[in-house]
Amino acid sequence: MLQLIKKAVPVFVFALLLQSHKTDEGMFPLSQLNQVDFKAAGFNISQTDVYNPDGVALTDALVRLGGCTGSFVSSEGLIVTNHHCVFGSVAGVSNKDNDYLENGFYASDKTKELKIGLTCRITKSYEDVSSRVLDGVKPDMQPAKKGEIIAQNIELIRSVEQAKHPDMTIEISEMFVGYSYTLFRYQTLKDVRLVYVPPRTIGEFGGETDNWEWPKHTGDFSFVRAYVGKDGKPADYSADNVPYVPKKHLTINPKGTKEKDLVFILGYPGTTYRHEPWQFLEYQQEFVLPFISEWYGWRINKMEELGKTDRDRYLRLAGTIKSLANTKKNFEGKMYGLKETGLLDTKKDEQERLQNQMTGKQDTRFFTIIDSLYGKRLASAQHDLLLNRFNNDCGTYTAALIIEANKIPKEKLPKGKLPKPSDTLFWTKWKTEVTKILKEKYRIADRELDEAILGELVKRGHNLPQAASINSLKKMKDPAKWTIKAFKESYYDEPAMLYKMLDSVPWLVYKNKSQISLLAAQMRPELIQLSESQTKMNDLLDDQLPLLLDAKLKYGKKKFVPDANSTLRFTYGYISGYKEGLNKHREPYTHRKEIFDKNATDNVDYRLSTPVRDLLKTEVIASELLDPTTNDLVVCMLYNLDTTGGNSGSPVMDANGNLVGVNFDRAYTATLNDYSWNADYSRSIAVDIRYVLFTMKYLNHADNLLAEMGVKL
């Protein structure tokens, strides 16, 4: 089968995938735009206005900014994105004396812009490389061998392409596992600076209370600027760098939209899982989603407790708190959506009907294999999910694991013995290798937090049922006492001390017999075994999924758009509220007056600083910014586009391709989008461009930025 697909997939599969789709569903790759009837949908622009490989188009204004999306809005490299997309960066340049996170930031001229640790990527071109990636793959190969050949081919193609384009970033993205692969060429801009961030009581108004909720009244927007060297080429930060001049920047429509207007988004949606078997959904619903939600909740509570009386400490933890809280509520929303829509049962019924339809016509063993593999995954879920957290969540323990992993087997040591301290060549080489890995992976945001996390993990592991037990924790009698003793005797929780020890007495670090080191040594074989078993299972599943996809195409008559994978996508739909009974706020817009209604409650997430309160009371406002129906200021808007994580910061454009909002969230019901788009439940949220312009104009009097964007109010 793979031999046939290898040659035919760019034509055969994509032709099938694109013949049929709902007009309001689909995250279309650029190669699929010709399947959209722009005129019938209500566009006033054409496909080539959106993407034009031989000219300039809207896609040239798009950037991938960290894990989010942004868009150029001026000829001087000015980029609009979300407040939450730069939240961690703003926290990083803030302190108690210059609290930009709380008070906002505005660079009145370019010399005052602040360097932040973000880079942005611009998609320059793409190319289907499926046949080259699958070259040499045969149907009867072992899954691991197929994966090895595919990985080797990808690296060869990427390295050859990189040599041709040394100034670009080359990536090959899997569009369908074992089926289709696309090579993308990106220009990476390394010098990104902070230009404008609204105060937190605008940019994060509603906080966790309103996260993933509708109605929202959050001004979730920010501006950064991309710089390059004087020669116009990407360069690291330098005071001599100049603003990047994009091929295209977006035009702003300050009058916004009205209900039922067509809108569309270009962006970099992260990952969706719409073509997985129903057993994948069962694993998510029964184990992954509840486990991660609860564990992240515990970590958030601990960090908030530690930062309650220390602002600088809180600022160090703020970015992590926000990230974990975002994921936690997202996962809770998925659980709600799965329950309300019965998606698991729907997917299961579809797959069973497909299997029955194929029986007697084609080999259906892959159904049984998939079911068996997921049976094993479900059986070991409790053990596997918790054990994996040891490998991820505690910096102190990470250091111990890294050091253990780099100890040399006795048979490979000179004469089977550990060299003496006087063997400087051996110890210099060892400490250099270990230090390099530590610099890449070892982080401690807060020592007390690290101790609490490891203590909680050990306690939970110790309390697992016998069938799911972690071997290295079975003999531990008192997890709380063990943790206290382990951190008293360890210096792995002090990066400066660990690096000093490595530099001066690396042999003592090597021979460290602390409680944390001993646990790392005992647990490491279990972690290795878990990693290997998960890799093997993923390889086996990857070997079956192309067969399932082929069956859906052939017998199920299903039409597909590839799952999102952080590559540039297009989606469109309409300004659309909820149908009755699904949400208390059916309307697709929120307004200024409702902010004061929320602020009247005791919820601290709805607090307003004095400057923001005064701003919102502004009476004389440019007429373009007012909703002609209510004569009030629109804050946020709702639409039925197909979005997911990574679309944060995506420009929301009208039928003419003009900017009317900045996408920043999905409603709680739309977290389900990662598994399936739903006409009733899938709603995404943007800050309306009118609220963006209002804030800049009347709070900070940022007329220079408005003029730069071509806005006259």
- Locate 249 and state its tokens: 């920047």
Residue 121's SS3 state is strand
Residue 567 amino acid letter: T
512: nearest Cα among 391, 401, 390? 401
72: nearest Cα among 578, 651, 693, 687? 651
Q: Are strands 569-574 and 262-267 parallel, antiparallel or unpaired?
A: antiparallel
Average pLDDT, rounded, for the chain: 92
What gap in Å lies between CA 694 and CA 634, rounded to an integer? 10
Domain boundaries, the chain: 21-124+167-272+560-713, 278-542
Residue 56's SS3 state is coil
Question: Does position 581 have pLDDT exceeding 60, yes or no?
Answer: yes
Q: What is the CATH number of domain 21-124+167-272+560-713?
A: 2.40.10.120
Interval 307-318 mean pLDDT: 90
pLDDT in tens, 186-206: 999 999 999 999 999 999 999
pLDDT in tens, 524-544: 999 999 999 999 999 999 999
Q: Give 408's contacts (C-beta < 8 A, 6+ positions apart).
A: 430
- Locate 497 and state its tokens: 């001390």
Interval 307-330 mean pLDDT: 90
Question: Does position 51 have pLDDT exceeding 90, yes or no?
Answer: yes
Are 647 and 688 a contacting pair, CB within 8 Å? no
- What percentage of the chain has pLDDT greater than the value 90? 84
| Cα dihedral 601, 604, 605, 610 in deg (nearest 10) | 90
Q: Give 440's contacts (C-beta < 8 A, 6+ positions apart).
A: none
Are 315 and 95 a contacting pair, CB within 8 Å? yes
For residue 178, the model assigns a pLDDT of 84
For residue 19, the model assigns a pLDDT of 34
What gap in Å lies between CA 268 and CA 565, rounded to an integer? 8
Question: Does position 9 have pLDDT exceeding 60, yes or no?
Answer: no
Residue 199 amino acid letter: P
Alpha-helix runs per DSSP H in 19-142: 38-41, 47-50, 87-92, 100-103, 130-133
* Other Cβ atoms closer than 10 A to 183: 20
SS3 annotation, 157-176: HHHHHHHHCCCCEEEEEEEE
pLDDT in tens, 476-531: 999 999 999 999 999 999 999 999 999 999 999 999 999 999 999 999 999 999 99
Give residue 366's Cα distance to chain centre. Answer: 31
What gap in Å lies between CA 147 and CA 170, rounded to an integer? 20
For residue 3, the model assigns a pLDDT of 30
80: nearest Cα among 93, 99, 61? 61
DSSP of 516-531, one letter per residue? HHHHHHHHHHHHHHHH
DSSP of 569-585, one letter per residue? EEEEEEB--PPTTS-S-
Question: Does position 23 have pLDDT exceeding 50, yes or no?
Answer: no
- What percentage of the chain has pLDDT greater than the value 70? 96
For residue 580, the model assigns a pLDDT of 86
Long-range Cβ pairs for the range 29-36 (8 Å, 24+): 29/175, 29/182, 29/561, 29/562, 29/567, 29/568, 29/569, 29/570, 30/59, 30/126, 30/568, 30/570, 31/126, 31/128, 31/182, 32/561, 32/570, 33/570, 36/570, 36/572
